[in-house]
Structure 1
């Protein structure tokens, strides 16, 4: 015979059906917690903000790097989705990448703080996917004068890395202005989207 407590327990635990919802909630919470408390914020704060238990957090993301990489994966997927429209120029794609860097500066700090000599292959894959998307617009950007003559895909990626690294040392209120000025100094046109 089911008691009211047993029925409530069954309703509260949605099991595998809740997995996608829990993952999305964890990613949203991680963005907020990292932005508010920095790269060393406790992961249990992410679980609490998401409204899930720590077990759910670790089932989805076994460690801090897995969580950060999932955030980056979302960002790269967004840029790839926008780039499906062949009319979107490099300046717009760089704007989206820059907006992501402004808003996830702590995640950048975590992902680049590894003491390993060899970069994490998951980061390399995300970098390669970003290079493919940005590279698909480079010829047009060169023709339109949005980048300096002779600019390569590696130059564009170096610019992204330089701008992102600079943002990790800036107060939140100054990041947008700093990013746009950095791109200007690098001789690349960037159209930053609204938040």
Structure 2
């Protein structure tokens, strides 16, 4: 049966749907990993995102690719808030702190190479860390306590990430904020960047 000339096929939303699915998978992975750790089944991520496992594997061939995508998204949000008009260091540290509390399961991943007898932080994680450091450092005002020594900023971030432990995101956030307070650093509202 041939379609009539005035009938139209529905538009193929291919790339839009693919981008939406990828974003949903990353958001779901962040939640699942925060709740159950990096060992959570990938099927749970697909279910939370509302897609089939085949869709997950089309975007991410393995568990490491999912984790890397979440880390990449965390850094991208930190870069976005740092680049926003009127951004200040406290706002950026608030977003960073949200990611430390929400994605705390990834702290072990960042240091897994060193624990296995490797040379330290995996190359992709080091590159992401450098991007986050550049974004944050660009907003450090002269005389800020994290600008006193070139190593102070990332040492403080490492200390706060080490403190961001506990059974719930709220507990981890409270500990991270307490660590910033003990370091004498003001942090803005702890929330994701929604730009």
The TM-score with structure 1 as length reference comes to 0.79
Q: Where does residue 167 of structure 2 map in the other structure? A: 171
Q: How far did residue 86 of structure 1 move?
A: 5.4
Q: Would you identify which runs of 4 or more consecutive aligned residues in structure 1 move more than 6 Å?
A: none
Native 8 Å contact 2:91 2:188 kept in 1 = yes
Q: Which has the higher helix share?
A: 1
Which digits, 9 at most, give the CA deviation of each residue in 1:106-157, with x for residues without a partner?
A: 233333334333432211111111111111122x152xxx5267243x3111
Segments of structure 1 that go 5 or more residues without pairing to the other structure are 2-10
Q: How does 1:75-114 map to 2 (within 5 A)?
A: 75-85=74-84, 87-114=86-113
Segments of structure 2 that go 5 or more residues without pairing to the other structure are 2-9
Report how many residues are paired: 180
Native 8 Å contact 2:81 2:91 kept in 1 = no
Q: Where does residue 147 of structure 1 map in the other structure? A: 145
Residue in structure 2 matching 1:117, options 116, 119, 129:
119
